[in-house]
Amino acid sequence: MARLLDKYNKEIVPMLMEEFQFKNRLEVPKLVKIVINMGVGRAKENKKILEDAVRHLSVVACQKPKITKARKDIAGFKLRKGDAVGCKVTLRNKKAYEFMDRLISIVLPRIKDFRGLPSGSFDGRGGYTMGISELAVFPEINIDDIEFVQGMDITFVVSTKSDEQSYGMLKLFGMPFRT
């Protein structure tokens, strides 16, 4: 069993039930999924950039990413409907908890000049989105393999509609929010 999933069931659920006065364990917010997205706008000129992004994201997420395509034409960006513009992965259940564990314990401490995650990045419906500007902070990525500096967006989807409950749950998992 994933370490954070075990911690959630044994420690976090009772703490959240007490803090928010839930009467039933099913009311307690839980992590539904983690969506990792890499927007690769430069892929139009160079297909190798998209191939590298797909390869790196599959190594980081331990799952094959889906290539995202443009939904409509945008003349200002010289973009046509159907052009590949990035890739994304959706992690659920055990894989989501394992990725979150690696993110909190290994990746975030390796970020240069890291002062904590902003607590204002909640979307109003309990979801939290953060960005990582460089893939080199992941230990799975070989620094010599990186030709193009590429970042990613990570979205945590939680089963609650309240930002306060979502913040409390993520804080108990060990997410280092700024105070």
pLDDT for 115-124, tens place per residue?
888 888 888 8
Rg over CA atoms, the chain = 18
**Is 60 contained in some domain?**
yes
Give pLDDT, residue 44: 66
Is residue 45 a part of any domain in this protein? yes
pLDDT of residue 156: 93
> What pLDDT does residue 74 have?
66
Q: What is the pLDDT of residue 36?
A: 93
179 inside domain: no
- Contacts (Cβ under 8 Å, ≥6 apart) of 86: 37, 38, 39, 40, 41, 43, 50, 53, 67, 68
Separation CA 15–CA 59 (nearest Å): 34
Instruction: State the total domains in the chain.
Output: 1
pTM, two decimals, is 0.86
**Residue 86 in contact with residue 96, Cβ under 8 Å?**
no
In a domain, 127, yes or no: yes
Full residue range of the structural domain in which residue 67 is found: 3-112+121-173
Tokens of 86: 């990035």
CATH for 135: 3.30.1440.10
Structure token digits, residue 151: 């970042």
Across the beta sheet with 152-158, the strand order is 66-69, 84-92, 31-39, 152-158, 128-132
Low pLDDT (below 70) residues in the chain: 1, 42-44, 73-79, 179
Reduced to 3 states (helix: H, G, I; strand: E, B; else coil), residue 136 is helix
Residue 7 lies inside a defined structural domain of this protein: yes
Distance, CA of 43 to CA of 49 (rounded, Å): 6
- Annotate 44-97 with DSSP letters as a single string: GT-HHHHHHHHHHHHHHHTSPPEEEE-SS-BGGGTB-TT-EEEEEEEEEHHHHH
Residue 55 covered by a domain: yes
Give domain status of residue 178, yes or no: no
- pLDDT value of position 135: 80
Q: Is residue 132 part of a domain?
A: yes
